[in-house]
Structure 1
């Protein structure tokens, strides 16, 4: 019972993060399931089955708040579904011993990306309002869908930064569109796992716990996307993912590292994580102060013209 409650809380927290960042739901929940001993294919299948419900509620919530660009959803969802189905089939046919460290590496890479992306990079706005072309969105969807299924998460970490980097769509609509299209990706990946694995090893109680937590959090997450500083949230979540999947790699036997060196490695990661969070906090406060000063200057100029 304690495990079910814990998994439900993780589903809730992961959906809050995903709704605010447009990424990290699958990465966060899959990392937890791997940490408690679930095999990679079953972990990814469990998360994607739960995501069918959470992404549906999340998509509806983002639509209600006006966070969705339906042209982007249409152009990226179908290629993403193809990539997710293929990725699920590939992962299902790997042995557990081979799949565990491979998934840990993918999740570790995604964690590093999330951590560095939201710590050091701002959001470009120079091309805001220009249309996103199908020749950009289709290959992006195919790649993101494949990574999502094989890594247990990756639709957001691959798709969201790429669209943000184009600077053609405002951030809240990037996040809302990626979250909404993820329903199709979760459905395709789940079908791929069910065709390849059947229902063997999938704990329905865990699926329902993750789903319940995500459904509760989805409407709140759609509202939070307007208010939560992405830099701080990204730095926090990225650090957790890096630390947990480094531990998984050490336990996989791929790296013959003694206990002392492992402790040192964990210490370095924690220090780097703390440094990233501190940097993110300082950058956020500086940006907020700059925006406030610019707003005051603009208001002063308007008042001067009016006089």
Structure 2
């Protein structure tokens, strides 16, 4: 029961972050689940894989709730969603398969490097070139594919890559956040399918898991995150997002540093 309440608390924070910053919350869910799964004595070789798969599955629910709220505010650019989704689906499925072939240590190193990269982007608020625009169809397909692969590697809904990508293409910030929340759904769907397939039938995984998705954690996170995501979406339209992003960047640095120390 203690573990389940931990999943509920994690879901509450994840939902708010998803709605507020347009991210699926995986960048917080993954390190938290690694810690919780390790405390529960799950197989060390598959703790990272379980955290990634469970994170992807939970983002299905978080992103759905978040995108509905942003759509109500008219902040989702469905033309961008339509153009980038094919590449997202291909890349995410490929990434989930590749992630299943890598060791937990390698996946942790990829995740740590990604966390520091995202923190730097948010902390220094790198400005895009005024003339830059979204790429054409082939460019959107390739961009979606790259974002999908890395989303699977680090168990995120893609927002931490999509937000700087669209911002660098001069899409307005609040529309970026809403559109990113919408794109998180196809990423999470493809990633969940990939992690179920790649872990299916593995005898070393815990009971109540489907492939690399641990159902008790998914249930606790999903139930609460769907309720708190609309709160975050409302806050995104009322609070200074740039200041909040800097605070979140400092949190990411702390999380990345803790994970790095655990590897040394």
TM-score per shorter chain, which class? 0.7 to 0.9
Return the alpha-carbon distance in structure 2 between the equivalents of residues 149 and 192 of structure 1.
9
Asked if 2 retains the 8 angstrom alpha-carbon contact of 1:114 and 1:235, the reply is: no
Equivalent residue, structure 1, for 2:33: 33
Residue 49 of structure 1 pairs with residue 51 of structure 2: no
> Alignment partner for residue 173 of structure 1, among 153, 172, 175?
175
Asked if 2 retains the 8 angstrom alpha-carbon contact of 1:11 and 1:211, the reply is: yes
Residue 147 of structure 1 pairs with residue 185 of structure 2: no
Q: Deviation string for 1:46-99 (max 9, x for gaps)?
A: 1111111221121211111101111100111121111111111111223xxx22
Moved more, 108-117 or 27-36: 108-117
Residue 134 of structure 1 pairs with residue 137 of structure 2: yes
Structure 1 pair 3/232, CA: closer, same or farther in 2 (3 Å)? farther
Q: Deviation string for 1:165-187 (max 9, x for gaps)?
A: 111x2111111111101111101
Q: Where in structure 2 are the equivalents of 1:209-228 lying within 5 Å?
A: 209-228=220-239
Structure 1 pair 113/227, CA: closer, same or farther in 2 (3 Å)? farther
> What TM-score comes out, normalization by structure 2 length?
0.85
Moved more, 55-64 or 11-20: 11-20
Larger gyration radius, structure 1 or structure 2:
1
Q: Where in structure 2 are the equivalents of 1:8-23 lying within 5 Å?
A: 8-23=8-23
> What TM-score comes out, normalization by structure 1 length?
0.74
- Quick one: higher RCO (CA 8 Å, sep 6+), 1 or 2? 2
Asked if 1 retains the 8 angstrom alpha-carbon contact of 2:112 and 2:259, the reply is: no
Moved more, 206-215 or 229-238: 229-238
Return the alpha-carbon distance in structure 1 between the equivalents of residues 127 and 237 of structure 2.
15
Return the alpha-carbon distance in structure 2 between the equivalents of residues 153 and 103 of structure 1.
13
